[in-house]
Amino acid sequence: MKIVSLSFGLGIATSMMSLLCLGQDVKLEYHYKAGDQWRVKNTIHQQISGEALRGRTLNIVLESFEKTHVESVDESGIASVVSTQDSVAAKVNDQSLPHHGDETLNGIPIRRKITKTGKCLEASSNKDFPAELERTMNMFKQECQNSAGFPEKELKVGESWNDEQVFSVDLGGITFDYTIKAHYRLLGFEKNAGYDCAVLRITSTLDGTLTLEEGSGTVTGTGRGTRFFAVKEGKEVSQFMDLTATREVITPKGKMQLRIVLNTSEELVK
């Protein structure tokens, strides 16, 4: 009974917080300060099935930790932010995968110039990337160029905005060109991990084409997620996304289809 009462009380408190904030204008901005540092846990769950796997299903789990620190902030609020992956682990069908390629990113710092609204202006590294990671660095740069950040204006609960990102990725013998269109909506405010957060609902679509030496294909998908941003502290607390996609490739041997279910999370680690 105490647990039920506590849950009910917390639910009422959260609802009251959102109601009190309904008429409140809020500007979503990062409050970077030189010397700030934090750590983030990233988790990716993939389930892959389809004709190409001949009836099998692959369950892949990738878990990594990334530490970030702020080097400097200029007068206009643009911050130099350096992130370094310090550990990563992978499993395929519950079996550990000791050598999977992602561990080669460990210890390589990625520096980004980021505005107060979260728009990335530049991505680079002060270390030489191994040749096998050049494609990864190019991906980081494209992500930076595509980042729109938060709107410049103040927002009310219920307001929304759109974002579009266009990528062209070399996967080694395969070129993947795709567009992600995302719709963001400010749902309200609630506590998350001890912070008073703005809650953002995200819906997205993915449309892309694959170009292979022996054929071509398409990738389509839809996504849905939630993002928690600590307004007072001006920092990301967590984000959760679910994506379902279908990949269809046509080759001289016939048509092959894969279904991909992707669940990702990004959480601040204290």
Rg (the chain; Cα; Å): 21
Q: Give the chain's mean pLDDT.
A: 87
Cα(226)–Cα(205) distance, rounded to whole angstroms? 15
Q: What is the pLDDT of residue 119?
A: 95
- Report in angstroms the alpha-carbon separations of 266 from 203, 228, 243: 17, 10, 15
pLDDT above 60 (res 17): no
User: How large a percentage of the chain has pLDDT more than 90?
Assistant: 65
Tokens of 231: 């307004």
Q: Regarding predicted confidence, which is higher, 196 or 134?
A: 196
pLDDT at 129: 66
Round to whole Å and give the CA distance between 241 and 262: 8
CATH of region 2-269: 2.30.230
Among the residue ranges 12-26, 65-79, 215-229, 248-262, the one predicted with the least confidence is 12-26
* Residue 88 scores a pLDDT above 80: yes
Q: What is the mean pLDDT of residues 173-194?
A: 94
- Tokens matching residue 225: 């997620």
Which position has the higher pLDDT, 163 or 212?
Answer: 163
Residue type, 251: T
Number of H helices, E strands in the chain: 2, 12
Q: Are 241 and 225 in contact (CB under 8 A)?
A: yes
Contacting residues for 122 by C-beta, under 8 A, at least 6 apart: 112, 113, 144
What pTM does this model have? 0.86
Stretch 207-214: mean pLDDT, rounded?
A: 89
171 pLDDT more than 90: no
